[in-house]
Structures are given as C-alpha cells and as structure tokens.
C-alpha cells in the first residue's frame, strides 16, 4: 500500500452551523491560510450556505460540498435536495451516510447506496462515511460493520467510478466527543477498508483509493493521525469552524 499514490483530502463538515454571511466571513479568513496546501481542501456546508461558499471560494483552492443529497431527480420529496440542484450551482462534493444522518434521520445502508448512485450519476464527488458505534467496537465487530457499510454503499459502483469516491472512517464514539481514535485504531480500520476495496475491485484500485479519518481531529492530533500509512486526510467537524484550526490540519496533511 503506497501512501504516495494518494493525494490527501481535508474536508470540513460544518453540520448545522453558520449562516450565509458567516460563511462568507469564515471562508475569507480561511483562504489565505490554506492557499499553499499540498492536499485537496473542501468545505461541506448547509444547503442555504452553498451559494455564499461558492462565491467566496471562487478563484481559490477550496472546493465546496453539500452535506447530503436525495436520490430522486425531482418530485414529491418535501425538504429534500436533488443532485442536479447541487451540480447546477457548481457544487463538487457531497457527504453521504454521515453517522448523524444514520442515527437521527433514519439513513440506512440501502438509502446510502441510492444516494451514492445518484451523486455519481450527476458527476458529484462523494465523501462516504462509515463507522461503528461504541457498543459495536466493544463487541469486537468494528471490521464487520465497516466492511458491510462499505460493500453495500459501493454496490453497483464500477472501478472507474471509484475515482469519484472517498471514504471517511468515522467511529461514531469519536464524533464531536473530543475522544479521538488512536492513530493505530484509525490506521487499522482504514487499512481494513482498503482491503475491502482490494477484494471488491483490485489492489491497484485500493492503492489509489483515498480513506480519510474523522472524529475529533484537531490541530493537536492531526500530525500523528495523518502520518499513518492508511490515513489519507480527514473529515473535520468542530475544528473546521475555526479558520486557524482548520488550516493547521491542512498544513499537517500537506507535509
């Protein structure tokens, strides 16, 4: 497995934070701090902030993503947003299957698969989230859970389409809790995900595939996490809401 074959991706997940005007201000603060990044930099923001984010990032190295999308093209799905709505705006990325969607909004492996399919068909780049609950880790079934989530989400995805997907391994017990997985725990599960990719596709596909870690990554622990062989970047919640903290993580990924 050769880390140098992969370009790290640092993506912020703003969740339900920031208004449009706050979005403009935060991105303007971030831009000079991440301008020299040697990794891909993405901010995934609430739907209503997308236009402000697209305007503020114009001409910069920061890409914009949404935090979810629906699988339908249009129709009677009150409150949902289609992939075409996103691409027409110029949005490039979308997070799918975040544990907060799975836990609070009834997202399942099957609906995740449908959203992944729709996003790829529309030409979006997918940040697919997988990860175990604390009880599952304690029960010793982490690899099974993550492997099942990965396999089902990638059902029907061709080898060529893999270039438009990255996976974020996010242990649910580490999200927003300040409790980070150790670098070894993160690397071990990221490695297992890469092995699932190798089995589903082949070794070359797995070697080229970006697997991020997410879960309380911050300026203080990013160096160690991102130095791991199988950790190719991060999905960052809390620390992505502060320009300086986010840029420190981007710097760590650029080493």
- Distance (Å, rounded) from C-alpha 135 to C-alpha 106? 19
Give me the least distance between CB of 2 and ligand PEP, in Å please.
26
- x/- mask, ligand PEP, residues 121-160, rule CB under 6 A, reads ----------------------------------------
Sole window of 52-60, 156-164, 170-178, 191-199 interacting with ligand PEP (rule: CB under 6 A): 170-178
Q: Verify binding: residue 250, ligand PEP, rule CB under 6 A.
A: no
Kindly list the distances between the CA atom of residue 227 and the CA atoms of 95, 128, 150, 186, in Å, as whole numbers in the listed order: 24, 21, 23, 11
The SS3 of residue 196 is helix
Give me the least distance between CB of 153 and ligand PEP, in Å please.
16
Active site residue 98: yes
- x/- mask, ligand PEP, residues 221-240, rule CB under 6 A, reads --------------xxxxx-
SS3 letters across 58-82: CCCCEEEEECCCECCCCCCCCCCCE
Q: Verify binding: residue 9, ligand PEP, rule CB under 6 A.
A: no
Position with the least CB separation from ligand PEP: 237
Give the phi and the psi of residue 233 in degrees, each rounded to 5: 120, -170
Q: Verify binding: residue 212, ligand PEP, rule CB under 6 A.
A: no
Pick 23 or 216: Cβ nearer ligand PEP: 216
Q: What is the dihedral of CA 107, 113, 117, 120, to 10 degrees?
A: 80
Active site residue 67: no
The SS3 of residue 249 is helix
Residue 239 has which token pair? 């620390």
Residues forming the active site:
98, 170
Q: List contacts with ligand PEP (CB under 6 A).
A: 13, 15, 170, 175-176, 214-217, 235-239
């Amino acid at each position: 497995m050769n880390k140098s074959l992969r370009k790290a991706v640092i993506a912020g997940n703003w969740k339900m934070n920031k208004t449009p005007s706050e979005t403009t201000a935060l991105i303007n603060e971030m831009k000079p701090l991440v301008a020299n990044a040697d990794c891909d930099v993405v901010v995934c923001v609430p739907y209503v902030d997308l236009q402000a984010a697209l305007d503020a990032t114009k001409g910069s190295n920061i890409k914009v993503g949404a935090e979810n999308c629906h699988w339908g093209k249009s129709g009677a799905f009150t409150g949902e947003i289609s992939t075409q709505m996103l691409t027409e705006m110029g949005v490039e990325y979308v997070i799918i299957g975040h544990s907060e969607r799975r836990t609070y909004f009834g997202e399942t492996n099957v609906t995740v698969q449908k959203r992944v399919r729709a996003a790829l068909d529309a030409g979006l780049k997918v940040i697919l989230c997988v990860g175990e609950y604390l009880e599952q880790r304690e029960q010793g079934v982490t690899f099974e859970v993550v492997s099942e989530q990965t396999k089902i989400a990638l059902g029907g995805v061709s080898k060529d389409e893999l270039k438009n997907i990255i996976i974020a391994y996010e242990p649910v017990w580490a999200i927003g809790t300040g409790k980070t997985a150790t670098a070894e725990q993160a690397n071990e599960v990221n490695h297992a995900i890469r092995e699932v990719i190798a089995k589903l596709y082949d070794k070359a596909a797995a070697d080229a595939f970006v697997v991020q870690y997410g879960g309380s990554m911050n300026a203080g622990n990013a160096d160690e996490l991102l130095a791991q062989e199988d950790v190719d970047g991060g999905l960052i919640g809390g620390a992505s809401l502060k320009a300086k903290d986010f840029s420190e993580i981007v710097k760590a990924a650029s080493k």
